[in-house]
Amino acid sequence: MARTVAKPKRSRRTLTTLVVLVLLSVSIITLSETGRASVLTSGVKSIASDIYSPLRSGVNGVLDPIGRFFAGAVHYGAVEQENEKLRAQIAALQGQRASTRAAQRQYSELQRLLQLDKLPALSSLTEVVAEVTSLTTSDFANTVTIDKGRNDGVSIGDPVVAAGGLAGQIVLSYHHVSTVRLLTDGQSKIGVTFGRGEEATLVGVAAGKPLQVDYVPAATPVSVGEVLTTSGLQGGAFPPGIPVARVTSVRTVVGAADKQITAEPIADLDGLSFVEALVWSGSS
């Protein structure tokens, strides 16, 4: 009995594929001759573009930030250098501005200090101009150090004036350095006069606190804003007529013998740069 041998399936698939390719080739040749190949190719291109565009957008979305990151990293050092230069320039300009302001303030301070020379009480006195080198402040003490001392003609007890009025008194003096006790020092007491020759004692409390005006009888007229000047009593520690302080408050207490009065220094004691020590023969 004869046996029928079946063709392998692979041979059938190969034949089918070959037939399809031949037909496709013939079709493309035909379309090419009739001018319709461009339509087919453009369609193929369109399909390929539709497939590729989302893929390209996704790739660009991933690669663009990476590219920008590496570009920023490359230029980061240069940007930092430019920022450092700008910061240095700004700091230099601010320093120049601060120096200019400080110079203007010191110039104004010296001008006001020289104006005190016109006071009758100071016209005949020897004055030693000094620069303030340090400030000492505590709960009760308030002093400054100046760069003039005994060898420069400055002695213990000499009055010291600043721009606007009296600043204090020399309490220590060395060869070229002295210590000035300011008006606001807790140990400072100065005889002052106001109004029609009324007298009082100006007492320091501490830096930043109001001065006290003691021994003003309750019946004595005194008003806020009134200027107190050194009394210049015989043998006093200060020559007469130097502006010292301005009254800031006046209070009369029922039954009290004296008024409660506060005042503030006329001279700017917090921003002292230059002072004048007065060689005063009446100093003790």
Banded model confidence at residue 199, pLDDT cuts 50, 70, 90: very high
Q: Are 278 and 126 in contact (CB under 8 A)?
A: yes
Question: Rounded to 5 degrees, what are φ and ψ at 210?
Answer: -60, 150
pLDDT of residue 272: 87
Q: Are 221 and 153 in contact (CB under 8 A)?
A: no
pLDDT of residue 107: 73
- Both tokens assigned to 62: 């991933």
Spatial distance between the Cα atoms of 180 and 275, rounded to a whole number of angstroms: 10
Helix locations, the chain, DSSP H:
9-34, 37-115
Cα torsion 215, 218, 224, 227: sign: negative
Q: Specify the higher pLDDT residue, 275 or 47.
A: 275
- Both tokens assigned to 177: 């350095």
Mean pLDDT score, 178-188? 95
The pLDDT tens digits of the residues spanning 47-69 come to 445 544 554 555 455 545 555 55
Spatial distance between the Cα atoms of 129 and 126, rounded to a whole number of angstroms: 10
**What ranges do the domains of the chain cover?**
11-118, 128-279
- Both tokens assigned to 253: 């207490």
pLDDT of residue 48: 47
pLDDT of residue 1: 47
Angle at the Cα of 261 from the Cα atoms of 255 and 265, rounded to 5 degrees: 170
* Mean pLDDT, rounded, of the chain: 78
pLDDT of residue 234: 58
Spatial distance between the Cα atoms of 248 and 226, rounded to a whole number of angstroms: 8
Q: Are 156 and 177 in contact (CB under 8 A)?
A: no
pLDDT of residue 188: 94
Query: Could you tell me which of 196, 180, 195, 70 has the C-alpha nearest to residue 133?
Result: 180
Reported as type and span, the H/E element at residue 187 is none
Task: Tell me how far the alpha carbon of residue 131 is from its chain's centroid.
Answer: 25
Share of the chain above pLDDT 90, in %: 40
The pLDDT tens digits of the residues spanning 5-32 come to 444 544 555 556 655 555 555 555 554 5
Whether pLDDT at 163 is above 50: yes
> What architecture (CATH level 2) is domain 128-279?
Beta Barrel (2.40)
Query: Could you tell me which of 186, 153, 176 has the C-alpha nearest to residue 281?
Result: 153
Proportion of the chain in helix, strand, coil states, percent, rounded to 5: 40, 25, 30
Whether pLDDT at 260 is above 90: yes
Whether pLDDT at 81 is above 80: no
Spatial distance between the Cα atoms of 265 and 245, rounded to a whole number of angstroms: 4
Banded model confidence at residue 39, pLDDT cuts 50, 70, 90: very low
Spatial distance between the Cα atoms of 244 and 266, rounded to a whole number of angstroms: 6
The pLDDT tens digits of the residues spanning 121-145 come to 787 888 898 999 998 887 778 999 9
Helix locations, 197-267, DSSP H:
none
Spatial distance between the Cα atoms of 232 and 12, rounded to a whole number of angstroms: 136
Mean pLDDT score, 156-184? 94
Q: Specify the higher pLDDT residue, 205 or 71.
A: 205
Spatial distance between the Cα atoms of 48 and 51, rounded to a whole number of angstroms: 5
Mean pLDDT score, 171-181? 95
pLDDT of residue 73: 52
